Chains A and B, each alone.
Chain A
């Protein structure tokens, strides 16, 4: 899309920043996928791996901050270059939190796996599928600075929110009669909650993609738009 900078070192640094974001994104997605797999397949080793790998994601967040700061100090970027640096640093923060949620899921998977009673973990699989697709598209929107895709995520997140509400209600209704499984059910409710939160974080990345592509800030837009009946007599 953009032609290269005359001073090639700017392109090298920008490419380095993008590469780190992509690596961080792929690790965060991998952690999420493994966390869910560890839950669905009762694989404690996989859950341990997710917990261990999170530090790598944390390190990449720090690295992205350093790379962004370095670009700001050295090259004083403006326009799309500046937006890339700002949004990369913000996306890194959201990815770090996504990976934290993956760790939460993995920790709860470990606890659920440690109980002898099997649990209907598959009930949260559709939530994972929705959250994962949101995350995938958010990252695609960010990579391509695709404002249209980025701005479409909010509506899809509402579907995830609704699905989460249903799952949480269903699991909640089973709590009373669950006996020994109550603790595991609570863990599963919190896994569902993490997936719902991952959807929110993916939306954040999508919103940053809109800013990256078109310099439009669409965050909190609903709050700015008065309700249809706000001015009615």
Chain B
């Protein structure tokens, strides 16, 4: 059960969107990083955030699980974010639990300096799971879902740091999904990976979207076109265009989007 939402991980489709962002503005000190952002992230879809550096896409991503709370001087100045209908800024929301339900995979893989097994089991133990058989089963299922099981099943208790970069990133995905989040946020998850490792992660996202909702920040236009269902283009803290990915990359409505995706910016 999800403590944040108090309902099963794969919740019945009672609301249209997994994440609803409403008139959100966000500031770093006096600098407005996000301006009146409104968009819905649909369940079991992959939503890509694209835009030039500094456009606010990563900031918005980090707003969804309140990672920006860790940065002094930042604040949501207006608006709200609802995850499965729950306002994540409500005083009753436990941020630690929020981040379990809205997991995150970072640009650089960041396995803990422990065994492969322990990396995946960590979140389960934090959640209070003590049953070894149950943990074993979830670790195996998560590693299988992350398409990593066959590569690591014989060395589960070896250090995760001995894995390749691509394997480490898939391990981080396995670690994230082990606690059955509602939403998985990915901040340039393939930017440090070679094309084969990138393809594996993309295939993984494609497979896992049957069960999870993904939001991915990427600078790679082809990656956004390949893996996402919807794409949001940001520029200078504003949401310029948000539409079906195939539309964005074939016939964007806004000239700024066209200029950016075709490489005519600046």
Is A78 in contact with B264, judged by CB distance below 8 angstroms? no
For residue A76, CB closer than 8 A to chain B, the reply is yes
Q: Mark A78-109, 1 if CB is under 8 A from B, else 0.
A: 11111100000000000000000000000000
Number of A-B contacts (CB under 8 A): 42
Q: Interface size bucket, A side?
A: 10 to 19
Complex partner residue of B251 from A4, A7, A79, CB under 8 angstroms? A79
CA distance A79 to B249 in the complex (A): 5
> Is B265 in contact with A80, judged by CB distance below 8 angstroms?
no
Indicate with 1 or 0, residue by residue over B164-200, a CB within 8 angstroms of chain A CB atoms: 0000000000000000000000000000000000000
Interface residue from A5, A76, A215 paired with B264 (Cβ < 8 Å)? A5
**Can you list, as one digit per residue, whether each of A198-233 has a CB less than 8 Å from chain B (1) or not (0)?**
000000000000000011000000000000000000
A82-B251 Cα distance, complex, nearest whole Å:
10
Q: Mark A1-45, 1 if CB is under 8 A from B, else 0.
A: 011111100100000000000000000000000000000000000
Asked whether A52 is an interface residue with its Cβ less than 8 Å from the other chain, the reply is: no
Q: Is B250 an interface residue (CB 8 A)?
A: yes
Inter-chain CA distance A7–B263, complex, in Å, is 7
Evaluate contact between A79 and B250: CB separation under 8 angstroms: yes
Q: Do B250 and A78 touch (CB < 8 A)?
A: yes
Q: Report if B252 contacts A (CB, 8 A).
A: yes
Within 8 A of B (CB), among A46-81: 76-81
**Number of chain B residues close to chain A: CB under 8 A:** 15
Distance, CA A82 to CA B193, complexed state (A): 27
Q: Is B161 an interface residue (CB 8 A)?
A: no
A81, B265: Cα distance in complex, Å: 14
In the bound complex, do residue B250 and residue A6 qualify as a contact, i.e. CB atoms below 8 Å apart?
no
With A3-B259, A215-B250: A78-B221 Cβ-Cβ less than 8 Å: yes
For residue B131, CB closer than 8 A to chain A, the reply is no
How far apart sit A81 and B249, CA to CA, in the bound complex (Å)? 10
Residues of the B chain whose Cβ atoms lie less than 8 Å from the Cβ of A82: 249-250
Complex contacts, B222 vs chain A, CB 8 Å: 76
Please tell me if the beta carbons of A6 and B258 are within 8 angstroms of each other in the complex: no
Residue B262 lies at the interface, judged by CB distance under 8 Å to chain A: yes
Complex alpha-carbon distance, A2 and B261, angstroms? 13
Contact A5 B262 (CB under 8 A): yes
Q: Is the CB of A6 within 8 A of B251?
A: no
Kindly state the separation between the CA atoms of A214 and B263 in the bound complex, as whole angstroms. 19
What is the bound-complex CA distance between A2 and B252, given in angstroms?
14
Q: Is the CB of A76 within 8 A of B221?
A: yes
Within 8 A of A (CB), among B208-241: 221-222, 225
- The one of B221, B250, B264 in contact with A3, judged by C-beta atoms closer than 8 angstroms, is B264
Complex Cα distance, B249 from A137, in Å, reads: 29
Is B266 on the interface with A (CB-CB < 8 A)?
yes
Q: How far is the CB of B68 from chain A (nearest CB, A)?
A: 31
The answer to whether A4 and B221 have CB atoms under 8 Å apart is no
**CA distance in complex: A80, B252 (Å):** 9
Interface centre among B221, B249, B250, B266 (most CB of A within 10 A): B250
A177-216 interface mask toward B, CB cutoff 8 Å, 1 = contact, 0 = none?
0000000000000000000000000000000000000110
The reply to whether A10 and B252 contact each other, CB–CB distance below 8 Å, is no
How far, in whole Å, are A215 and B246 apart by their CA atoms in the complex?
12
Q: How far is the CA of A78 from the CA of B259 in the complex (A)?
A: 10
Q: Separation in Å of the B202 CB from the closest CB of chain A?
A: 15
Please name all residues of chain B whose beta carbon is closer than 8 Å to the beta carbon of A6 when the two chains form the complex: 263-266
Report the nearest B residue to A7, measured CB to CB: B263
Bound complex: CA of A10 vs CA of B222, how far in Å? Answer: 16
Min CB–CB distance B195 → chain A (angstroms): 13
Instruction: Return the contact of A2 from the options B221, B225, B251, B264 (Cβ within 8 A).
Output: B264
Contact B266 A78 (CB under 8 A): no
Q: Are A4 and B262 in contact (CB under 8 A)?
A: no
Q: Given A76-B222, A79-B250: A5 and B263 within 8 A (CB)?
A: yes
Nearest CB in chain B: distance from A3 CB, A = 5
Which chain B residue has the least Cβ–Cβ distance from A216?
Answer: B251
Q: Would you call A4 and B249 a contact (CB within 8 A)?
A: no
- The 7 residue pairs across chains A and B that have the minimum distance between CB atoms: A215-B251, A78-B249, A5-B263, A81-B262, A3-B264, A79-B258, A78-B261
Residues of B within 8 A of A (CB): 221-222, 225, 249-252, 258-259, 261-266
Interface residues in chain A, defined as those with a beta carbon under 8 Å from any beta carbon in chain B: 2-7, 10, 76-83, 214-215
**What are 24 contact pairs spanning A and B, CB under 8 A?**
A2-B258, A2-B259, A2-B262, A3-B259, A3-B264, A4-B264, A5-B262, A5-B263, A5-B264, A6-B264, A6-B265, A6-B266, A7-B263, A77-B262, A78-B221, A78-B249, A79-B252, A79-B258, A79-B262, A80-B258, A80-B262, A82-B250, A83-B250, A214-B251
